[in-house]
Structure 1
Amino acid sequence: MKVLIPPRNRRLGTVDVLGIIGVVGLLVARYIPVARIIPFWGCVLREQTGWPCLGCGLTRVADRVSHLNFAGAWDANPLGTVGAIVFALLAVAMVLHLVFAMPIPEIILSPWEWGVLRVTLPVLILVNYAWVVVKTRFPHLLL
């Protein structure tokens, strides 16, 4: 892995765009009760079959992270909680970059590191989904 530090700048980049998405998403989750005002909001798969989908709990995660209830967010969907916290950190980095011209480091991964990431990420998603399924369908196993 190589980390490059560019000169100070205020150019809009990937981190800035993801930070803007994080700010908007967390502000919506904090101040707009989306699940209550949109009548069709919810997991259709869970409503029809009783089984959760891969994204079950993400609305609760966004709401709970925006209210700083990290334990409740973790309980709803652990990997979603990590994602929401990363979006919040990217929002902070975006503000520091665009307001104070703080350079955002560029990370360059080797082919081997990309391969590890390509294997690790699906495994994490499957483990997270297994946990969500056990939590929603077989909660007695978690006692």
Structure 2
Amino acid sequence: MKVFLPPRNRRLGTVDYLGLIGLVGLLVARYIPVAKLIPFWGCVLRERTGWPCLGCGLTRAADRFAHFNFEGAWEANPLGTVAAFLFALAVVVTVLHLVFAVPIPEIRLSPREWKVFQMVMPAILLVNYAYVVVKTRFPHLLL
């Protein structure tokens, strides 16, 4: 892994866009009860079969994270909580970058590191999904 530090600038980049998206998403999660306002909001798979989908708990995780209930967010969906934290971090980095021209480091992975990342991410998704399934279908196993 190589880290490059560009000169001070205020040019919009990927992290800035993620920060802006994260800001909007966390503000919506904080102030707009999406799940209550939209009548069809929810997991159709879970409603029909009782089994959660890969994204089950993401709305609850974002809502709870935005209300600083980190434990509740983690219970709803651990990976969703990590994503919400990374979006919040991107918001802070974006503010520092656009207001104070703090450079955002660029990280470049080697082909081997990229291959490892590509193998580890599906495993992380699988572990997260297993947790959501156990939490939903077999909560007595989590005692």
Deviations 1:75-113 (A, max 9, x none): 000011001000000010000000100000000100010
SS at match of 1:21: helix
Deviations 1:52-86 (A, max 9, x none): 00000000011011011100000000011001000
Query: How far, CA to CA, are the matches of 1:67 and 1:105 in structure 2?
Result: 30
- Equivalences for residues 67-86 of structure 1 within 5 A: 67-86=67-86
User: How far off its partner does 1:16 sit?
Assistant: 0.1
- Equivalences for residues 88-99 of structure 1 within 5 A: 88-99=88-99
| Aligned length in residues | 143
Q: Which residue of 2 aligns with 1:31?
A: 31
- Equivalences for residues 1-143 of structure 1 within 5 A: 1-143=1-143
Q: Where does structure 2 lack aligned partners over 5 or more consecutive residues? A: none
* 2:45 partner amino acid: L
TM-score, normalised by the number of residues in structure 1: 0.99
SS at match of 1:134: helix
User: How far off its partner does 1:21 sit?
Assistant: 0.5
What is the percent sequence identity of the aligned residues? 76
TM-score, normalised by the number of residues in structure 2: 0.99
Q: Where does structure 1 lack aligned partners over 5 or more consecutive residues? A: none
The 4+ residue runs of structure 1 with deviation greater than 6 A are: none
* 2:84 partner amino acid: A
